[in-house]
Amino acid sequence: MKSVQTEVLVIGGGATGAGVAWDVATRGFDTVLVERKDLGEGTTGRFHGLLHSGGRYAVKDKLAAEECIHENLVLRRVAANTIENTGGYFVTTPWDDPAFGDRFMEGCRDCGIPVEEIAPPDAFRAEPRINRDISRVFTVPDAAIDAWKLVWDCAKSTKEHNGKILTYHRVLDILRTGDVVRGASVRNELSGEEFDVHADVTINATGAWAGKVADMAGCPGVQVLAGKGIMIAMNHRLVNVVVNRCTMPADGDILVPIRTVSVIGTTDIRIKDPDEPDVTQAEVEQMLDDGEKLVPGFRRARALRVWAGVRPLFKDVRAPETSDTRDVSRSHALLDHEARDGVTGFLTITGGKLTTFRMMAEETVDKMCEQLGTRRECRTSIDPLPASRTGKFYWLGERLSKREATMHEDQLICECELIQRRNLERVMKQRSSTILDDIRRAVRLGMGPCQGGFCMYRATGILHDVERIDSWTANRSLRDFLQERWKGVQPILYGDQLRQARLDDWIFHGVLDVEHLPTDRLEDRAEREHP
């Protein structure tokens, strides 16, 4: 069995893990990151897209609020290309206590969050769809952020500094000699190959799964509560500013404009298994009702997709027991297992928000350097990520502008997301993946109103050509993609989206019979059925 040697092994490919790998690599350490699936496929890729100002936590969780506003300003410098500077409103609806606005203002000022109260008519002119019975409006520097773009930019910077990113590599066990962690045994989930990654330091950045990895290392008792939240994407931007209800954090109290859609969120329910965050019909109905309080007529808008994400909420064993995950701090936790468990060469970083991922990484790598007895300056608050070196924010018309410049010379593959063939082929070559869902995360393929109903057949043919894969592999990738899309559409089938789903179904089954396309060679199928 082969093995890989590195100075630092990072386990986990969400924002936290990608941020740690970015920080470690830019400080000059030899770095390997392993992730059991694709980057950003877990919690990072399943949230509402908000770059927090900290306003949401200003009254209830001062530390989390202060961390958010600090990192909000840093990320605007180093990750500008992933951010749309929408701004944010906190509004008092008829269901909210107007007096809370005074506590909110005071909390924001105590935390250093820029806040200003404006007259409701001024907000109505900027956002004509929001509830006209709103009595108070406060502005804060909220924004929207593209999580997938962020993690892959971190990965690109890691690679520029000679780090390695190994997606689809699952950790099977933590390697330990006595009281020292020496790395991990991993398996390539695509090829089945198993090998060891030997490292001087192993960093557990697996979010809601951090307790499981810590158990592998013989460090029990790492309690990370899984807080499930569902979100619904509406198929166009009902607002252009992030709109929050001005009250204590609750369900369905935020509407985020992200790319071409608006996302309403979110619930907060404790679940046992972070791998099984199901969506219930009651939760969907609740989100739609809550959307009406912010934007009257919300239910008549077209719901595009629903999904569930799982927050990693670290619970201190000394804290009182609670069944309500909203009572657990949104701040992060760095566990030094040498001090905690007598196990060296092993750190766990968990909790926090996507907004604070860079700060979490910096704190973790600082602790690692302290244990190694070396001092190396953190560069992630200074040097921009590769795509952000121009310092320009993302703007909504960016793709349309590029499309208009090449419309006579480049084929359009996805009309909803304006994905051109040249760009799609470039990304496929860069990713070298036969999994269409990986390509989706890179370019937002199939994420528009038709949910892949038209573009995926074109994309499958292009994937077949670019990756030189056989027809069975291409068919399997197409079928898996469409089945995954269906999971997020089925719970919100009503109105126009129901008609769209019916059209897609006619194409899938009536025209192309996708479900019965051959996905295995005959000899492979025969061997499986008659071993």
Distance, in Å, from the CA atom of 402 to the CA atom of 365, rounded to the nearest integer, reads 39
Average pLDDT of span 111-125:
98
pLDDT at 13 over 90: yes
Number of H helices, E strands in the chain: 16, 22
Where do the domains of the chain lie?
83-142+225-324, 398-527
Task: Compute CA distances 20 → 15, 362, 365, 377, whole Å.
Answer: 8, 7, 7, 14
Among 326, 333, 352, 328, which residue's Cα sits nearest to residue 266? 326
pLDDT at 522 over 80: no
Weakest-pLDDT range from 106-115, 143-152, 464-473: 464-473
Task: Compute CA distances 260 → 69, 144, 298, whole Å.
Answer: 25, 11, 16
Distance, in Å, from the CA atom of 414 to the CA atom of 398, rounded to the nearest integer, reads 15
Distance, in Å, from the CA atom of 518 to the CA atom of 510, rounded to the nearest integer, reads 16
Among 467, 444, 465, 469, which residue's Cα sits nearest to residue 455? 444
Tell me phi and psi for residue 253, to 5 degrees: -115, 20
pLDDT tens, residue by residue, 287-304: 999 999 999 999 999 999
pLDDT tens, residue by residue, 73-82: 999 999 999 9
pLDDT confidence bin for 449, thresholds 50/70/90: confident
User: Residues 294, 300, 304, CA angle at the centre, nearest 5°?
Assistant: 90
The two three-digit tokens of residue 449, written as one number: 């109103």
Specify the DSSP class assigned to residue 183: E
Average pLDDT of span 114-124:
98
Find tokens 């804290």 and name the residue: 319
What is the CATH T-level fold of the domain 83-142+225-324, as seen in this structure? Answer: D-Amino Acid Oxidase; Chain A, domain 2 (3.30.9)
Average pLDDT of span 324-352:
84
Share of the chain above pLDDT 90, in %: 74
Distance, in Å, from the CA atom of 254 to the CA atom of 233, rounded to the nearest integer, reads 12
pLDDT confidence bin for 318, thresholds 50/70/90: very low
